[in-house]
Amino acid sequence: MHGRFSAEGHSLHGATLMANGAGEGAAQSMGFPPPPAGLGGRPFPNVLRPLATGPRKFGYAIVGLGKYAINQILPAFAECQHARLVALVSGDQEKARRLGSQYGLEESNLYSYENFDQIAKNPDVDAVYIILPNALHADFAVRAFKAGKHVMCEKPMATSVEDCQRMIDAAKHAKKELMVGYRCHFDPITNKTISLARSGAIGKPQIVTTDNNDLGADTTDPTTHWRLTRALSGGGSLMDLGIYGVNGARYLMDEDPVEVRAMIVPNPSPRFSQVEDTITWMMRYRSGGVAHGSSSFTTHAVTRFCLQGEKGSLLLDPATSYWSNRVNLIKTGDIHTWSTPMFTIEALNQFSAQLDHLPISLEKGTRVAATGEEGMQDVRLIQAIYESAHTGRPVATDWSDWRKTI
């Protein structure tokens, strides 16, 4: 599509921001029940689309039947060429039975968190896909590797660098593959943007701006409680949404940053007594480039990247949505647009492609697109962002450009 460029505002935070950490351990008067002590079943979320079935080759067990698992991942199996759904793991056996019967699974392929390790004896299960609250990813990944299975793990990979390393070590020990569920790596618009950036279409990339916001802290929804509980989430909007900006900036710049600076915007609401609401950060690159990003739980949903070079810019908006992502190549007043179709089952291809990618990589003997090392690098950068926000000082992240070496 061709058209005139109309400038679009970028909401970067200004001088009113203050360096401040989100307080920990404050009162729990958030207007919803206290957090569960450990693992537990959650209510059945709304199913937004009809569920679909279809036997395929490579068997996945899905661990944690929450919104993302039920609404995005389970329906995506219908579009897979190499992957199939074979087992469910849940703290809510009634929900697991309902979903199991919708997907035609045997009762014997439904597990609880307690008997999960028995999955080792199930030859139908090739891989375990962990879609639990962030802090539970590492332990379940290690248990899955001990059971002799490959692991797909949702983002963020874990809540600490130590846990990421533990997962990587367990994968190596088990001689199994570990892949992080970075679905955007399989979105055609993301890949189009990266190829445009690397083709020199905008000249040398110099500045990235990225905002990733959503009203993800809705206290009327009991299933969002864990996102506000540090022990389960590991952090607030940065862990949940800002991670897209951290990972995406690295790919758009084709480089890892050598320094980060960050600020957390104070939000006095008791909802944010344990984790941050709004955070803004800046990354400096050895090449002279810079990236700045924000994430927030209290502004209207935005997912946007802008990559600026000397010859033009790439505006990705929406950037990381489940469907209808769009990229504009903006040069000398003209705009070229590529987009994915709105809300069709075909537009779920990023999920199906991600599910298929693991068996394809294993078959070919190639490394997966989103490795454990990849996931760990983002968690390491997120920890550096938090450190800078809490200390008010820049944090060196010059751990070498490891991405080029793996």
HSE at residue 274, side-chain half, CA atoms within 13 A, is 19
HSE at residue 41, side-chain half, CA atoms within 13 A, is 15
* Identity of the residue, 69 or 355, whose beta carbon is nearer to ligand NDP in the bound complex: 69
Q: Indicate whether 222 belongs to the interface with ligand NDP (CB under 6 A).
A: no
**Token output for 6:** 């109309």
Q: Which stretch binds ligand NDP (CB under 6 A): 20-28, 39-47, 274-282, 382-390?
A: 39-47
Give me the least distance between CB of 322 and ligand NDP, in Å please. Answer: 7
Closest CA to 360 of 126, 61, 55: 126
Q: Indicate whether 39 belongs to the interface with ligand NDP (CB under 6 A).
A: yes
- Helix runs in 54-213, H state only: 67-68, 74-76, 93-102, 137-146, 161-174, 188-198
155 a catalytic residue: yes
* Identity of the residue, 41 or 270, whose beta carbon is nearer to ligand NDP in the bound complex: 41
Strands 334-339 and 259-265: unpaired
* Identity of the residue, 214 or 255, whose beta carbon is nearer to ligand NDP in the bound complex: 214
Q: Indicate whether 21 belongs to the interface with ligand NDP (CB under 6 A).
A: no
Please provide residue 63's backbone torsions phi and psi, each rounded to the nearest 5 degrees.
-105, 115
Catalytic pick among 60, 113, 182, 244: 244
Find out whether 89 and 61 touch, Cβ atoms under 8 Å: yes
Q: Which residues, 6 or more positions from 196, have their beta carbon under 8 angstroms from its beta carbon?
A: 202, 314, 327, 329
Give me the least distance between CB of 165 and ligand NDP, in Å please. Answer: 18
* Residue of 87, 132, 282, 283 that binds ligand NDP (CB under 6 A): 132
Distances (CA, A) of 148 to 60, 264, 269: 13, 41, 45
244 a catalytic residue: yes
* Span 49-68, contacts to ligand NDP by CB under 6 A: 64-68
Q: Indicate whether 235 belongs to the interface with ligand NDP (CB under 6 A).
A: no
Q: Indicate whether 335 belongs to the interface with ligand NDP (CB under 6 A).
A: no
Sign of CA dihedral 330, 335, 340, 342: positive
* Residue of 21, 28, 41, 258 that binds ligand NDP (CB under 6 A): 41
Q: Indicate whether 185 belongs to the interface with ligand NDP (CB under 6 A).
A: no
Catalytic pick among 155, 251, 285, 386: 155
* Residue of 79, 154, 211, 214 that binds ligand NDP (CB under 6 A): 154
Find out whether 254 and 198 touch, Cβ atoms under 8 Å: yes
Catalytic residues: 155, 244
Binding site for ligand NDP (CB under 6 A): 36, 39-42, 45, 64-69, 90-92, 95, 131-134, 154-155, 181, 183, 223, 226, 232, 240
